[in-house]
Structure 1
Amino acid sequence: MRKAYAWWADAVGGLPTTYWYLWTGLLINRVGGFAVLFLSLYLTAQRGASAALAGLIVGGYGIGGVAGTLLGGVLTDRWGRRSTLLASHFATAALLVALALTSNLRVIAALALLLGLAQAMPSPAFVAAIIDVVPAEKRSRAFNLQFWAFNLGMAGASLLAGVLAEWSYLGLFLIDGASTLLTGVLIAWKVPETRRRTIVAEPAAGGMRTALTDRIFLAFVGLTLLQALLYSQTNTIVPLAMRDDGLDPSDYGLLTALSGLLIVAGQLFVPRLIDRHRKDRVLAVALAVMAAGFAALAVADRLPAYLVAAGVWTVGSMLAAPPNAEINSELAPVELRGRYQAVFFLTFPAASFLAPALGGAGLQIFGEGHWLIVAAVGAVGALLHLAAGPARERRVRRGSAPAAAGDTHPHRRRPH
């Protein structure tokens, strides 16, 4: 019993109260956040869109996410974390209700783009706020718990969504909007502004230029994009492949629920497993494992085979989550946290566009061979992590970051 208590205290203890409110908001939002998971199926089954048109609309959601991520990063540093989170959550809730009540495909495409913008805005603010309030030595645990909460919510969402999709797609969007609204209310009630007022704000263009010219950071972002391209297959192309194999929406809901449940059951053990190893090696192993999972889809045609493949790629994503977030926090200068987070999080909306746009064509042209191409991308990413890791480690050990573009005032920069 003492060992169990000590493990639990080590896994979740000692984190600030504000962190736990952010964590709770993320969990609530994720439990109801299933509309985008089923967007491609909704468009084809309920609105008569072709697979190609559905891919373009979902890709438009990704384009909106690119703009929203950049906007969210700038606003996080200039408005503050709290204001950015509130604006994005309330806008998202309104857009989800509008999508639920709209049948015109052109209007749906426009709303999907705006939804991508609004849903991407909070990511830089969430992570910047966590870095603000959590001491550096506890951030690995904080990010691990954040990933755990995200997937705990996703597991619940997937179980509900598979049933709701067969009952009412309208319900998917309305419940998603309600959970987003509830998260916004919680943030408004309990989360204070976490940005340090003593930090001198950088000009928006100069601050973003610093992040976009930081070569070590951009190499890491590029490798994260490869990982995001793999993972984005799970909510864009995998459901289409399962449909082609004669499986139901509820089967896809079971698959995504399995991934979430594996993370819920095992994620708290990950820090102890990986903390003794260099982050670049952990990420290389993680991408190799993900690649193996997607390669298995080349021979999958029944639900059990899909579930096994999902279990494999989920283990890879579990290993990758803490080092990805920790490296990102280590490379970002304190006064540019929002902008660095924005550039980092660009990988996810970019993948949301590229994965359906390229993946839909790949599945149509190559069939099951598409999954071997996806696996090859993962294998290349694993090798590149090993090549890029040493320079990253040296940068972190120095505790330095590139000076902001045009910055000739050394006293404007402050250490982490």
Structure 2
Amino acid sequence: MTAAVATAEEHAEAGVLATLRATSAPVRALLVGVLVNRLGTFFQAYLVLFLTTRGFSSAQAGWALGVYGAGTIGGLIVGGALADRLGPRRTTLVSMAGSAVLLPTVLYLHQYAAILVVVALVGLTTQLFRPAASAMLASHTARHRRVMIFAVYRLVQNIGATTAPLVGALLVAVSYTLLYWVEAGSTAVFALVAVFLFPRKRDGAKAEASVRGGYGAMLADRRYVLFLGAMFLNIFVYVQYIAVLPLAMRAEGLATGWYAAMLALNGLMVVAFELLVTKVTQRRAPRYVAAAGFLLLGLGQALYGFGWGVVAFVAGTVLWSLAELVGGPTMFAYPALAAPEELLGRYQGAAQAMFGLGTVLGPICGVALWLALGPPVWWLFGAASLLGLVVAWTSMRNTQPAAKESANA
């Protein structure tokens, strides 16, 4: 068989339907568990409203939200180490069982300091499983299908994240008690999925190697550490759509409905087209795909700064949404392509922690810059995206995601 024929067959085998058909039972269980968990994730979205209805000030509620964000970053870092030490089954069980116990606790606390402690612990426990989930996706999926399976994973998360606030609104109409007990129930269901459907055995040699390696082994990979900087810049710029974009549209005199339309446009594009776009992008070297994503993101952000009204907002939103379609799956799959098998959890945990840090700092810094600079801040975000392009191009190895190999059983 010629190399060209073999490559064509690998590309066909990495398509959407072929990937789903070849997905192993543990990965299917993971996708179902994550969907159930995401559909029942309300804590962060309704935390501010919950605390203010309990009589706490808006400032106190804001600090609680920040504490939650700090907890999530810690959870991702700790979760990366646990994933390599314990494996996905036990890590997910610790994460979901701990969350199921802690989530309703906030209902019965009245001291602000105690609430902050529980909020931080909820942030930590709810995120512990994520590096393990990503590592499990990678280790149970053939290498040439990893970008596509991460695109499917992103789709599942996006569906859950889009639907959960609507479900939460219905539950809040009854009571916050129902809201947080339902979330605790969804985490308990995911825990049961992990107990009965996730792999029970781990490779002893790999487990021992991961314990010895630690995060020090990951930090010794200088190019990957540089990639983490690119990941941070990517999300730092991306999250401005929830921080600065609504302020900019209001400053232009546009009604809130226009901002909602931009969110709907992005969500529609991602859900409808990301898997189809990934069929093409997964065949390319990751650094080229990431560069295209950063370029589109920068152009979309910069376009907002020209003051062309609705036209600029629609065109800019289309461009940065295309950036998400093009670059998102590859950026999220890259740790699984770059990491040694015994350090998959830590590589994933570090990347996801950078993502979390960007989502915390991005809105804070973005709003401050908007208040200081006004519309030209969009050009600054565009420049930051171009910097991310350079960092990604320098740091990302020419891995071959379409190189055919078997997944671990």
Please say whether Structure 1 and Structure 2 have the same fold, judged by a TM-score greater than 0.5.
yes
Distance (Å, rounded) in 2 between the aligned partners of 1:223 and 1:62: 20
Residue number in structure 2 paired with 1:283: 290
Distance in 2 separating the partners of 1:326 and 1:202: 23
CA contact (8 A) 2:242 2:363 kept: no
* Residue in 2 that maps onto 1:80: 87
Aligned pair 1:133/2:136, yes or no?
A: no
Identity percentage of aligned residues: 27
* Cα separation, partners in 2 of 1:200 and 1:110, compared to 1, 3 Å: closer
Deviations 1:392-412 (A, max 9, x none): 11x779x9xxxxxxxxxxxxx
Q: Secondary structure at the match of 2:22?
A: coil
User: Is contact 2:148–2:282 with CA below 8 Å preserved after alignment?
Assistant: no
Q: Which runs of 5+ in 1 are unaligned?
A: 1-5, 400-414
1:154 aligns with 2:186: no
**1:46 Cα offset (Å):** 6.8
Residues 173, 335 of structure 1: CA spacing in aligned structure 2 closer, same or farther, 3 A cutoff? same
Alpha-carbon deviation of 1:23? 0.8
Contact 1:96 1:115 in 2 (8 A): yes
Code of the residue aligned with 2:296 in structure 1: it is V
Paired residues for 1:322-401 under 5 Å = 322-389=329-396, 392-393=397-398
CA contact (8 A) 1:60 1:353 kept: no
The number of aligned residues is 389
Q: Deviations over 1:101-158 (max 9, x none)?
A: 5565444433332222112211110011112211212222211111111112222224
- Partners of 2:106 and 2:308 lie apart in 1 by 33
Q: Is residue 274 of structure 2 the alignment partner of residue 263 of structure 1?
A: no
Deviates more, 1:119-128 or 1:37-46: 37-46
- Give the letter aligned to residue 75 of structure 1: L
Structure 2 counterpart of 1:337, one-letter code? L
CA shift, 1:84, in A, is 0.5
2:11 corresponds to which residue? none
Whether 1:23 aligns to 2:23 is no
Instruction: Please give the alpha-carbon distance, in whole angstroms, between the structure 1 residues aligned to 2:182 and 2:250.
Output: 24
Q: Which moved more, 1:253-262 or 1:28-37?
A: 253-262
One-letter code of the match for 1:13?
R
Q: Is the 8 A contact 1:200 1:335 kept in 2?
A: yes
Moved more, 234-243 or 285-294: 234-243
Q: Which whole-Å CA distance do the structure 2 matches of 1:240 and 1:165 have between them?
A: 27
Aligned residues of 1:133 and 1:194 also touching (Cα < 8 A): no
What is the TM-score when the length of structure 2 is the normalising length? Answer: 0.79
| 1:143 alignment partner in structure 2 | 150
Task: Measure, in 2, the Cα distance between the counterparts of 1:165 and 1:128.
Answer: 35
State the one-letter code of the partner of 1:16.
S
1:207 aligns with 2:214: yes
**Closer, same or farther: CA 373–172 of 1 in aligned 2, 3 Å:** farther
The corresponding residue for 2:183 is 176
Find the aligned partners of 1:252 and 1:384 in 2 and give their Cα distance.
Answer: 31
CA distance in 2, matches of 1:229, 1:337: 24
Out of 17, 36, 41, the position equivalent to 2:44 is 36
Q: Could you tell me how far apart the structure 1 residues matched to 2:350 and 2:250 are?
A: 34
Q: Specify the SS of the correspondent of 1:270.
A: helix
1:383 Cα deviation from its structure 2 partner: 3.1
TM-score where L is the length of structure 1: 0.78
Q: Which residue of 1 aligns with 2:9?
A: none
1:195 alignment partner, SS class: coil
